[in-house]
Amino acid sequence: MVKPLMALAPLVWLPAAAAKNGPVGNDPGIGSAGVSRGLQALFTGVILIVLVPLLVCALRKILEHVRARKEKSFVEELTLEAGKREQAGEFVSAALAYEKLKNLERAAELYKKGRDFMKAAEAYELMGQTDKISEMYEMAGDLKRAADSRMYYRDFSGAARTYNQLGDKRMAAEALMRSGNKLGAARAYREAKDYLRASALLKEAGMYREAAEMYAISLAGSAAGKANLDKFYEYAALLETAGDPAKAAEVFITVSEVNPHYRDVRQRIEALDAREGRSEPDVTPEAAGEPLQGITPENTPEGEITLRSLIRAGGIEPRHSFRIWVQVLKVLDRTQREGRLPQILTPECIVVDSRNNVTFRENTSKDFAYIAPEVVAGSPPDTVSSVYSMGVILYEMLTGSLDTLGIKRPGEVGGNVPDWLEELTLKCCERKREARYQGLDEIFSVLADLKKRMQE
């Protein structure tokens, strides 16, 4: 305040001097009064500019002091009240008071002491003590919320334990998997009856045999069909990886029976057969595993014999005739898929060697008895026309001749021919193209169905 007043001193002095002496050349009584009033107003304004902020600041300090005294008094009273309630055993009421005082740790302890575990959990959550939250939920008897809380805060091992207590094996498995415990997760998935997930985890862990066992359980009671063929294929591949090629081949063959062109199933079967040194099993319902009988190609100079020679020898039982026919059918299917469809199929062009391997010889003769009517009429041969040729050949194998073709059923001539085999033969021999099987795939599918029905 000293410097502003000193600065004003000349201004105060000037009006006084002017009043005494008057301005040079002017009347001394006129100008002095105006100057004096102006200086007084200026001085008053300066004082107000300086004093008003000081007054406002002082007033604010006074109000803050009053508020602080009130708050201090409130805190003291609330603290005293909380202490009294705690001493009286009113822990929850005391906890509420401490919560108002922002003392969350003390509030949580008293909520816990008063057995209000849910409120205690809320207090611990506000403090970020995540391990305590789940503990409070457990003490409250809410295991589901405790497990979910542990899962949310990434305590996966603890979550798995709690889910196990609940009996929720699937969520326990999820928690164990997220914790990195794949074997534990696989065990939990198995207990939850999710065998495919268990198998996948065991496979990731390199436990292929155990993975195959889990996969087998998942398929128990299921029959291979178009809807689940991929699962049977994956199971077979897993068996192969697990070092069980014999079982893998069996499952791959089951897949092939439903759809012989599914993915690379035929190549997989052939590769396994070559590795194990065995021939591919038949898909017939009756003759599976039976040796071919009536074939003695080792007695021939070249170690081969035609199907015509077998028919002429006679005495082949229907089931063995059918097994030979199915073997020929498989080779024909493979040949057709390779784009080498035989122009004419007759018993003379079908050759069996000493190892029962089937091949086709070139046939230049035209025996119209084996040629489909549409081909005789000028249409090119195809898979449907080959079904007719194979049907006629089967009829001849079952009866010994074609004299009664179209007149009698095979069983009426040869005897001991089951009904299902008669129906199969006659449908192949239908002269109307649309009444026949529309390809070798359809015949294989029928055989697979027959096999399943007879095994039930």
Residue 295 vs residue 193, higher pLDDT: 193
The per-residue pLDDT for 16 is: 46
Kindly state whether residue 333 falls inside one of the protein's structural domains.
yes
Closest CA to 94 of 105, 76, 78, 74: 78
Kindly state whether residue 138 falls inside one of the protein's structural domains.
no
Q: Average pLDDT in the 302-328 region?
A: 76
379-433 pLDDT, tens digit each:
888 889 999 999 999 999 888 888 889 898 988 887 778 888 899 999 999 999 9
Q: Indicate the pLDDT class of residue 15, thresholds 50, 70 and 90.
A: very low
What percentage of the chain has pLDDT greater than the value 70? Answer: 80
Kindly state whether residue 395 falls inside one of the protein's structural domains.
yes
Q: Give me the domain span that covers residue 391.
A: 297-455
Instruction: Choose the most confident range, by mean pLDDT, from 27-41, 186-200, 354-368.
Output: 186-200
Domain total for the chain?
A: 1
CATH number at residue 382: 1.10.510.10
What percentage of the chain has pLDDT greater than the value 90? Answer: 9
**Sequence letter at residue 337:** R
Kindly state whether residue 112 falls inside one of the protein's structural domains.
no
Kindly state whether residue 320 falls inside one of the protein's structural domains.
yes
Kindly state whether residue 261 falls inside one of the protein's structural domains.
no
CA distance 288 to 270: 18
Kindly state whether residue 148 falls inside one of the protein's structural domains.
no
Q: Average pLDDT in the 342-367 region?
A: 76
The per-residue pLDDT for 24 is: 46
Closest CA to 344 of 311, 374, 384, 386: 386
The per-residue pLDDT for 288 is: 33
Kindly state whether residue 199 falls inside one of the protein's structural domains.
no
CA distance 149 to 428: 67
CA distance 11 to 375: 135
Residue 388 vs residue 309, higher pLDDT: 388
Q: Does residue 202 surpass a pLDDT of 80?
A: yes
| Phi, psi of 204, rounded to the nearest 5 degrees | -60, -35
Full-model pTM: 0.43
The per-residue pLDDT for 391 is: 94
Instruction: Choose the most confident range, by mean pLDDT, from 101-105, 340-344, 401-405.
Output: 401-405
**Other C-beta atoms lying within 10 Å of the C-beta of residue 39:** 15
- Residue identified by tokens 């005789």 is 376
Long-range contacts from 353-361, C-beta under 8 angstroms, 24+ separation: 353/297, 353/303, 353/304, 354/297, 354/298, 354/303, 354/304, 356/279, 356/292, 356/295, 356/327, 358/327, 358/328, 358/330, 358/331, 359/331, 360/331, 360/332, 360/335, 361/306
